[in-house]
Amino acid sequence: MMEKKRILTFSILFVLTFITFLLSVSIGTVKVSFSDILENFFYHKETSKFSTIIMQIRLPRVILSLLVGASLGGAGTVFQSLFVNPMADAYIIGISSGSALGAVLAIAFRLRYYILGVSSIPIFAFIGGVSTVLLVYSISSRGRHNQMLNLLLSGLAINSFLSSIMSFLLLLSDTSLHESIYWLMGGFSGRGWEHVRIMFPYFVISTMVLFLFTRDLNILLLGDEQAQTLGVNVKQVRRIIIVFTSLLTATAVSVSGVIGFVGLVVPHILRLIIGPDNRTLFPASLFGGAILLTFSDLIARVALSPSEIPVGIVTSLIGAPFFISLLVKRG
């Protein structure tokens, strides 16, 4: 019965992903019919009047939103299991603040140049996110007891410190204030194929590694002593999981800005539907995160058309009430 339920859930998620993809490419300031989309995809009609809109503007944006959403959903699942807390997500150990600081530094000090056709802002954001994770993990690993609690507290402390630095930088850089704030709210405006190229290899490598460790992640839920009894090298496995989940999230934040609540909402809902087994929950969360963020980006594009609002605002409007209800339910 449970197996049939999982197959049905994955089938629905796959269909919803495909429908969301088509709707996102079709709907916008200029409406594009499904037949025009299919012609451009399968017959490569680059001379059609919608070719540039589909292939150069909407398609890379939609693919990027799918990848970022999948990354945030999958990372949220891993961290909730790792911390044994349904209210944890990938931002709790400071990845978002580190990536945001990297981007704000590039914007505030006008460090705008291109490396192999890639803007320096995502590169600085990526470096900031990964560096923050390494710093947090280094601090937390010095404690001999309760390293998970040390990790959470270190993440909160580093988050507060980096947020203060960002606030100070935003006060100093009046000319780039609007751009910085828009980036901190998260969004895909102006994103293109170069951002997809940044995201894709890290996404594939990280998700493959994390999927291989989903069984170990299930065992860690039993507790460290039980996991060691079952032959799991707890310290090594936990380190690998944290590094690759952080890499996954830092890459996502580096191309999209700070987008919250996707990693909180998606895993929690899917866990109620298909259960806590990470071997199925993790891949399901990849689909769920992709659907939620791509649909949120569609709303962000059309809600105030022709103007556009940051997608981080949309996900916060969805996620914040959910988070509050979760807090109230858990007492």
CATH number at residue 320: 1.10.3470.10
155 neighbors 83 (Cβ within 8 angstroms): no
Q: How far apart are CA 200 and CA 282, in angstroms?
A: 18
Q: How far apart are CA 88 and CA 236, in angstroms?
A: 21
Q: Cα torsion at 166, 136, 196, 22 (round to 10°)?
A: -90
Distances (CA, A) of 312 to 61, 144, 180, 209, 229: 15, 38, 14, 28, 43
Segments forming the whole domain that contains residue 179: 2-329
pLDDT for res 315: 92
Backbone angles phi, psi at 119, to 5 degrees: -65, 150
In this structure, what token pair is assigned to residue 318? Answer: 């969805």
Q: How far apart are CA 36 and CA 21, in angstroms?
A: 14
Find residue 115's DSSP bridge partners: 118
pLDDT for res 78: 94
Radius of gyration for the chain, computed over Cα atoms and rounded to the nearest angstrom:
20
The residue among 313, 315, 273 whose CA lies nearest residue 295 is: 315
In this structure, what token pair is assigned to residue 34? Answer: 């499904």
Torsion over CA: 78, 13, 309, 40 (sign): positive
The count of domains in the chain is: 1
pLDDT for res 177: 63
Low-confidence ranges of the chain (pLDDT < 70): 1-2, 42-49, 112, 114-119, 143-148, 173-180, 327, 330-331
Q: How far apart are CA 303 and CA 318, in angstroms?
A: 15
Task: Tell me the pTM.
Answer: 0.88
pLDDT for res 127: 85
Q: How far apart are CA 35 and CA 243, in angstroms?
A: 43
